Amino acid sequence: MEYSPELFQQVPKDIASAEAIVRPSVTYWQDAWRRLKQNKMAMVGLWTIAAILLIAIFGPMVSPYSYSDQDLASQNQGPSRAHWLGTDDLGRDMLTRLMYGARISLTVGIMASVLNLTVGVIYGGISGYYGGRVDNIMMRIVEILTAIPMLLYVILLMVILEPGLQNILIALGVVYWLSMARIVRGQVLSLKEQDFVLAARTIGASDWRIILKHLVPNAMGPIIVTATLNIPSAIFTEAFLSFIGLGVSAPMASWGALASDALQGFRTYPWQLFYPAIAISITMFAFNFLGDGLRDALDPKQRK
């Protein structure tokens, strides 16, 4: 079989062009952000959360009404130019109370997630790193606490403590770190036998430095996803506690308290219940969309 010269291509003599990088290298977090931006639902959730945060922070500041001012002459009015979302049974502006309630609900969700992140990461990191008897004892404690539903713990603590925002944060902080501790422990168990941990031990790094500087940063993907998905869970728990009368006390307004106040007049003034219910639903959907997107974006198996 004969081969013609046209079938072959001469290799260029320019070595620099042959070794040129076709695509610039990106870090793990840059690649994760690129993949997150490609997830439309995750970006919708991210921008929705940003909008809710801005409304919660600046909305009550620009509103001409206060969340606690009563106007008995304007009781149970429907949406109008003066009150865009109507008023409640005490004549208070529903839009202002809804925006103020966003502050309470988001504060509870974010603070519970921060406590969950701090306690869960430290507890799970210690358990997974030391292993053996320490791990057995610490995990048995987690299993005992997990045996009882988390919501029941929170309700019992709120019955003992007085209703209030600070006590809600305490009640959530006591039990919301359990799932995070398990996830961090599993990640640390799989990472502590890696070569970079052995190298850190060889140069004399302390246990705390290895945990906080080497193991935890390499497990940040699952940690961030879990913390993000725990925020809507905490918001819903706070709304439920306020709905049954164990949440923030009047005249403070959270979305759960607004729904509870509107329940009595639901047949006559249904819009008073729809607004907080829609706000809770949108917020939970947004955080879940973002959490699902982060789970896919931070998965190293999908990195290209």
State the pLDDT at residue 52.
93
Task: Let me know if residue 17 belongs to a domain.
Answer: no
Place of tokens 């701090």: 118
pLDDT for the residue numbered 85: 86
Which CATH number goes with the domain that contains 42?
1.10.3720.10
For residue 254 the two structure tokens come to 């959270």
Structural domain count of the chain: 1
> In whole angstroms, what separates CA 250 from the centre of its chain?
27
Look at residue 77 and tell me if it is in a domain: no
Backbone angles phi, psi at 126, to 5 degrees: -65, -45
Residues with Cβ within 8 Å of 148's Cβ and at least 6 positions away in sequence, in order, are none
Is 236 within a domain? yes
Structure tokens at 221: 């993907």
pLDDT (tens digit per residue) in 270-284: 888 888 999 999 999
Mean pLDDT across the chain, nearest whole number?
A: 83
| Domain presence at residue 13 | no
CA pair distance 302, 279, nearest whole angstrom: 34
What pairs with residue 87 in β-bridges? 93
Residue 179 inside a domain? The answer is: yes
Backbone angles phi, psi at 173, to 5 degrees: -65, -25
Residue 1: per-residue pLDDT? 60
- Domain limits at 118? 36-57+88-302
Give the pLDDT confidence score for residue 24 in this predicted structure: 64
Token digits of residue 107? 């504060």
Whether 29 maps to a domain, the answer reads no
pLDDT attached to residue 301: 60
50 belongs to a structural domain:
yes
Decide: residue 114, CB within 10 A, 0-12 exposed, 13-18 middle, 19+ buried.
middle
pLDDT score of 46: 93
**pTM score > 0.85 for this model?**
no
- Whether 174 is in a domain gets the answer yes
- Collect the ranges in the chain with pLDDT lower than 70: 1-3, 8, 10-25, 300-304
pLDDT tens digits, residue range 103-160? 888 888 888 888 888 889 999 999 999 988 999 999 999 888 888 787 787 888 877 8
Q: Are 177 and 142 in contact (CB under 8 A)?
A: no
* Alpha-carbon gap, residue 88 to 75, rounded angstroms: 6
